[in-house]
Structure 1
Amino acid sequence: MKSLNFRSFKRSVIILVFFIWPSVSALAQNHINLTLRWNSKSGVYDVYGKPNFTAQDYPIGPTQISIVCPKIVPNKNLRTISYQMGFSQIDSIFEPLAAPQSDFFAFQSFGAKLDFIENVEYLLFSFRFTDNICREGVRIFDNDSDPNYSMPGMSGGDFRNAIYSVMSEELYNINYDNLGSVCDNCPKEICIPFKLIKNTNND
């Protein structure tokens, strides 16, 4: 039985890593940022992902995106408008002790192949409240500052955002423009301004 030629083996590994590393490194740097906005034309909230890369038929794996709303929204499931990724609402928590001024809604997708262009927003899904009214202050869940599953009133619910590639690589990075939605160009009959939300929360 021949013994392993370590020098030859080491040289082969170095050559292999030299050729493979650039593609692995490029893959590891891929990420997607999230935001949402009120769409005054269609009367819905739109949730967008912005990639830092360009790719065709890019395989996105299991994904969860969660929404935080002021507590005055109806305590009912949101009406979801799903597109290519097939998002649906899977969980909700209303006014938990850890954040009594907020309601939390989690949406999930099992993934899809998407065409991405670097720094161009991709519409992931849309939603509206059951009464079709726009509320300001709606935003994407913040993994760092919003309550986790172990905090009072969260009932073990994990609302953290996560976007995975089919290789189980985490693509989700940060939220942007996430101070809370504004109901621009919104008729009074379907708008509740942020001032009213703040006053209601302080009662």
Structure 2
Amino acid sequence: MKKKKIASLIFALFIVSKATFAQKGLELTLKYNVDSDKYEVYARPNFTKKDFLLGPSQITVVLPTSAVDEKLRIIPSDGGSWEDNTHVFAPKANPLVDYHAINTMGAKTDLIDGNESLVFYFSLSKDINPLDVKLFENSKDPNSAAPGMKGGDFSNTINDENANEVYLRNYTNEFKNNAKVLAVETTLVESSEGEKLILYPNTTEEDFKVNLTGVNDSEEVDLIVSTELGKEILKFKTTKRELEKKIIKVPLEVPSQSLVVRVKIGKNVFGRKLILHRN
């Protein structure tokens, strides 16, 4: 009888852990965009849903105390209008940092499994070290009862339309170069030292633009857009200067899918994934 109870308990724990692992939700990350000198907060879902109704939500940004003690000017991108509504500066519980709770009442947004969505961004003075700017860690940072937190709950929370909690965790970014700036690129398909390809937006209904760094303006480049299986959709040759001026349109007959955008310069080829999401 005792063995049966133990077996039943193990089975129950397995079911609970499996359900937890399979929980649908969103992860958060913060990136420092070197090119625009902006701090960007992204959400990454583990599911796909069109017109996902993001409910009232909060994402807390942690700044060093060297930052100015004032409300952050938040530029919303997705998930509604985000505002810095609550903040505490150098609380006794952690006097080395400031906490800024960024809130939204929510809005409909399209989510694609594994694809990062920019939810908002903000700027700080240039003397701030990007490595000192982070997202709140619910399990580590002070709770509302901690000294100096003024009773405020700064936990990250993301709700769906039924008020279910869908925030899972924060995920980290890799560091590059001398480890003083955060990596700002999404995964490169192929890369070449010193060269960087940026697509904006990297999720589009039809068109996108290209920014190419580490390449001379007069250099000839080939741009190739293809499916993940390698079928070419469009291809043309131009200079780096002219490429950055173009608005590149994906033909209307191409359905929603992940595409690969490559730039070829001589023998070097590097590229990025582009999410084509038709309405």
TM-score class normalised by the smaller sequence: 0.7 to 0.9
**TM-score of the two chains, using structure 1 as the length reference:** 0.72
Which AA in structure 2 matches 1:46? E
Matched, 1:82 2:76: yes
The alpha-carbon deviation at position 63 of structure 1 amounts to 0.5
Over 3 Å off, 4+ runs: 131-134, 178-182
Give the secondary-structure state (helix, strand or coil) at the position aligned to 2:74. Answer: strand
Task: Name the one with the larger helix percent.
Answer: 1
Candidates 53, 64, 77, aligned match of 1:59: 53
In the other structure, the counterpart of 1:91 is 86
Distance 2:126 2:146 in 1: 31
The alpha-carbon deviation at position 178 of structure 1 amounts to 6.7
In the other structure, the counterpart of 2:181 is 183
Distance 1:135 1:74 in 2: 13
**Distance change in 2, residues 1:133/1:125 (3 Å):** farther
Distance 2:119 2:94 in 1: 27
Q: Deviations over 1:18-76 (max 9, x none)?
A: xxxxxxx9xx9320000001011221100000000011111110000001111111111
Task: Name the one with the larger strand percent.
Answer: 2
Distance 2:29 2:91 in 1: 23
Q: Which runs of 5+ in 1 are unaligned?
A: 1-24, 186-203
Distance 2:128 2:37 in 1: 8
Question: Aligned ranges for residues 46-195 of structure 1 at < 5 Å?
Answer: 46-84=40-78, 85-129=80-124, 131=125, 133-136=127-130, 137-177=132-172, 182-183=180-181
Distance 1:65 1:184 in 2: 19
Partners of 2:67 and 2:128 within 8 A in 1: no
**TM-score of the two chains, using structure 2 as the length reference:** 0.53
Using CA pairs below 8 Å that are at least 6 residues apart, which structure has the higher relative contact order? Answer: 1
Matched, 1:33 2:31: no
CA RMSD, aligned part only? 2.2
Distance 1:111 1:133 in 2: 33
Distance 2:156 2:101 in 1: 9
**Bigger shift: 171-180 or 36-45?**
171-180
The alpha-carbon deviation at position 77 of structure 1 amounts to 1.3
Distance 1:117 1:155 in 2: 38
